[in-house]
Amino acid sequence: MKLIKTILGIALLCTTTFSQAEITALDRVAIVVNDGVILKSEIDALVATVKKNAFSNAQELPSDRVLKTQASERLIDKLLKKQMAARMSMRIGDTQLDQTIGNIAAEQKITVAQLKKTLEADGLKFTTYREGVRDELLIGQVERISIRRRINISEQEIDNLVVLLQQHGQNNVTYRVGHILISHNGDQSSTGQATAREKADKVIELLKDERDFKELAITTSSGPKALEGGDWGYMNINEMPTLFTDAVKGKKKGDIIGPFKSGNGYHIIKVMDIKGQQQVDVTEVNARHILIKTSIILSDERAKAQLEGFIKEVKAGDKTFAQLAEKHSEDAGSAIKGGELGWNDPSIWAPAFKFALSQLTDGELSKPFKSSHGWHIIEMIGTRNVDATDKFVKNRAYQMIYGRKFNEENSAWAKELRATAFIEIMD
């Protein structure tokens, strides 16, 4: 139920799609973003959701004016990313959406009908929830495609981090980081810098007087997590934006760091929590898969039917899975090995693929399912528990570096989208 409520909050925070019946006569365009618009009702809905979440957590909030500004900023960024997805001809079809929602329900060991009932009991229409999930999938997809090409990771970077992990055990410690950015709003003059520093110093004073960090973040921060109260969640020190890394080293829970300066303004960080992780065995899986990519010629329905035909051939003993993978799979790297992916930590795979793997026992075939790469079927070869080997540590190092660079490039990319966009505040 906790995950459902979390997803409920995300859907309400992120959804910007409302049916025509939900737009009252009093609704109007609040912001024009290129050839799209943000309605007043969308901003009001997001503000209402933030208030509801704050009430549930007994958290104080700033004025409606500040909340409206933060909500507007969030919705502008989201709309710009959706427009980029449209230019790239990206969309999330109903089949993939239904599959994702089915996975969400299955993880909670309930049916989709029960999920719908739970959401509506919390005041969220299921149609609104569906569109919120669709938007999250679409934005996640366009972010991955747009940002991945901007990230370069050298073997030397990975090797250096592996040494640090082995020497200092930093992979066993995660920090929950709160962040406030006091922006100079592009004013690089001494006056602009002084104004930003003065505001940052005031925030520090308020924090020393035990003012709520999250409330101040929502009120004052220009950072990407402002509406979440500046909360970046738990991160390993090597997964953090570079700006945070040196700041939190050696700090303890509750410490306030800053203000310190960057090109964007002045930063304030709070170490909200620290968790140490015990070393545990890693469960690796080995599987074969067949990937079929859809196109203008090959629809979702035909791709799914083709994979269902392969399953029948395997079960009838007419062909082996490996033979079909070699001939038909569009994942060239695994096709030449009969679709075999090798032993891996399942966390490296896309969410839909990871979920499908988790439902299989040794030797079992999956039903056809769709991921961001196309349509798949999987044959589970086996699972094993292994110690944290050098290979695992190296994979972990890569993921840490990638996560850090992804966050940094995501912020830079969002700024570039803004810089080239036409944005007019109407309301």
Positions of CATH 1.10.4030.10 in the chain: 2-148
Give φ, ψ of 257 to 5 degrees. -115, 135
Tens-place pLDDT, residues 121-172: 888 899 999 999 999 999 999 998 999 889 999 999 998 988 877 666 555 6
Q: Could you tell me the pTM of the whole model?
A: 0.56
Which fold, 282-386?
A: Chitinase A; domain 3 (3.10.50)
Tell me what pLDDT residue 372 has. Answer: 81
3-class secondary-structure state, position 155: helix
Positions of CATH 3.10.50.40 in the chain: 155-278+394-421, 282-386
- For residues 316 and 95, give the distance between their C-alpha atoms in angstroms, rounded to a whole number: 28
Which fold, 155-278+394-421?
A: Chitinase A; domain 3 (3.10.50)
The answer on pLDDT for 21 being more than 50 is no
Tens-place pLDDT, residues 374-405: 999 999 999 988 765 567 778 888 988 998 99
The answer on pLDDT for 18 being more than 60 is no
- DSSP state string for 87-134: HTT----HHHHHHHHHHHHHHTT--HHHHHHHHHHTT--HHHHHHHHH
- For residues 279 and 285, give the distance between their C-alpha atoms in angstroms, rounded to a whole number: 19
Q: In this structure, what token pair is assigned to residue 251?
A: 């700090």
User: Does the domain formed by 2-148 have CATH 1.10.4030.10?
Assistant: yes
Nearest Cα to 115, choosing from 269, 6, 243? 6
Tell me what pLDDT residue 17 has. Answer: 42
Confidence band, pLDDT 50/70/90 cuts, at residue 243: confident
